[in-house]
Structure 1
Amino acid sequence: MSIIVVGGGVVGVTLALAIAYETQGRQVVNLVEGLDPSTRFALNDAGRSIALSEATYKKLSALNIWSSLAPIATAITNIHISDRGLPSSIVLNATDYGVSSLGYVIELKSALKRLFARLKATPGIALYCPNKISSIERTKDFVRVTLDDHKILYGTLLIAADGSSSNVAKLCGIKRYCCDYPQIAVVATISTQLEHKGWAFERFTSEGPLAMLPIANGYSSLVWCQATSNKEAISHWSDQEFLMELQKAFGWRLGHLTGTGKRQIYPLQLQIISQNISHRLIFIGDAAHTLHPVAGQGCNLGIRDVMSLLDTLQIAWNSGKDAGEYRTLQRYQKLRKLDVQTTINITNGLVNIFSSKEALLVMGRTLGMAIIDHIPQLRNILAQWTLGWLKS
């Protein structure tokens, strides 16, 4: 009987490809995605990119997935972390840690195009797209999923990777807890006077963090968090006004900011599923936990979900057990609990500390950044977290 994966984003497609690779196509995967690829890519979040840690890159390489992404990936060779208006900064260099890069940046639209092409050519994967789920029935021994075109799929396990507005959660009555950040994210592709040369910048401002990540052809991918109260004004800025304000916030490390692509504005939330497992049901990626974009941990956390789930399924299959039985799901939940909670706590802490204007916190973070930059052991801890080497 099949494994049913709902959601054709990076996490859902990676899981489907990983199962097919590890089982050599013997385990059938039915992947359901609501948007036709051509429509999805036409609408898909202009300017958005994903940052993959060095550890995530290695995991994708081991599953033979990285070969599809490598041609469009831009290596991060250096990271510069600063606090606007304050003298302290931290610089991380890949060479200091014996690696060729600290991670990679990939434009989301290009990544999904390549992963979908790989998906269609992989034995053992059946793609139902464009299709939405009309109903879900979970019995003692299997899951029955009815699609909007009345097709019926049967599986031992249903895996929801359908994002922060998970339809699977709604159909199964699983609650999501949401906390609105008082911030929005402005996303765009930026052209600059100076080449980025693999440098990524994380700059904390009084309104929120600002990231400039290196992408192909010398461009940088911007994620600029701003106070929600600024949304209307920002949405009416001309390109020239936008670049002028961005230049003030970011500075001149890439010289003059010469152009911007189409801008998108997104509200920011922390979302956590009330239970990431239920009877013959698992939630992974943004369907389980949607994070603030600070430090770019969302996709990496989702890929770690994939790897833990893959390990869990392999143990069940090797021992002849039902992949959807509750003990199997409990093992996955135990594997993920600490990592997910730790990552949420760190990202939340960064947002709260670096968005604060209180004098004591400003002084404390200035001193803290200076200490980290001058004490190799502390800088190494930060680098290992960035690289994805720290084990929760």
Structure 2
Amino acid sequence: MTAGKIIIDQANDFDDADGSARGEIRQFTGDGGTHCSRRGLLKLAGIGGASMILGARAHAASGIEGERDGARVVYPNQHGKVHTLPSTPETVRVGEMDPAAQAVLEIESGDVVHYQNTWVNWANEAKFGMSFAERNEIRKRYPQGPQSLVGPVSIKGAEPGDVIECRMIRLRPIDWGWNSTVKGMGALPGDFHEPYLHYFRFDAERRFAEFAPGVRIPLAPIQGAIAAQPAGDKPASALLLGAYGGNIQLPALVEGTSLFVSVEVPGAKMWTGDSHAAQGDGVVNQTGIESAMEDLRIQYVLHKRVTLSAPLAETPTDWIALGTGPTLEEALTAALRQMIGWISAATGLSWHDVYALCSIDGSFRVTQYANQTNSNYRFSSPKVVHATLPKRIFSAELQAQISRSLRPEGS
């Protein structure tokens, strides 16, 4: 893949959702253009503080009536540049992250990447209304995996041993999606003898999808795959999960939340794909409402010298640690150990104390469960459990200490 050039257009402001605009945007094109100009910078994402503004969808997804002071995860009043990165044949890889891929953008810590009109799975070949048989032929052409991954985005100064915080600024899906199950896939591979495919259209405001008469699904869009490039000289499957990220599939990772992943190669080289308009814990039939984003914006913030053994997340109300393993038992214990080690080191509480807190007020949920017997892909999705501890049990001082464990510069 050949990286295109950066185009910057002259003074042409446009409005964000909250009416704010103005600054500089860098636009990637795949046509080798060299034209330069200036545009208004969207005031989207904060790089300040341990906490940031909660988007409306995060409120809806969490059921919060109001926020405690200090509970925010994203602030809109501090920002870097906004870079527009469309999905094109030059910027998308399907199913795997190739270490040989050249960065299509290089950004500063705190900048926002506006992923314009991302692709649905299988290189955007799936179309609304296709039959299962038509889609299945497309699926078989991509044994490396289904996700249309856009990137990689390089972050200046990122080195192995650092962490990238991925702040979810905006996630607005296209107007349709689907749920499907291939025979022999999902948590019950032997219970259903026919494949399943259900299409959805979304309302104009992207608030809900009608499933059936009397059944309406609220939308809470997420990115299923977010990753820094894993170490190694061979392509890495986006179906797997590591400290670098990968197949995240975390329903809590809506607008107004953050994901922390480890840097394993210089520049981090961030990828994202596999958009979902809605998804439950476990994704037990293998899919949520699979879709794409017509407007996706992620702010990437570099935190130096932070060690993670698994991805971590922060919402306005909770701290979340992910654990993976070949069985649910191993995934749960991995998530528990990750949470205990992190919170103990950050707060000074003993491992026994944090173990007790996880038992008293923690929550352990199945993030992904599948028992695949008929997969087209080279790799099967792992078993993943996420451990959650509520912020409300900690004092403001301890909340700040936990935040500083991930953001040592205080950004």
TM-score normalised by L of structure 1: 0.27
Q: Which has the higher contact order (CA 8 A, sep 6+)?
A: 1
TM-score normalised by L of structure 2: 0.26
Larger radius of gyration: 1
In terms of fraction of residues, the more helix-rich structure is 1
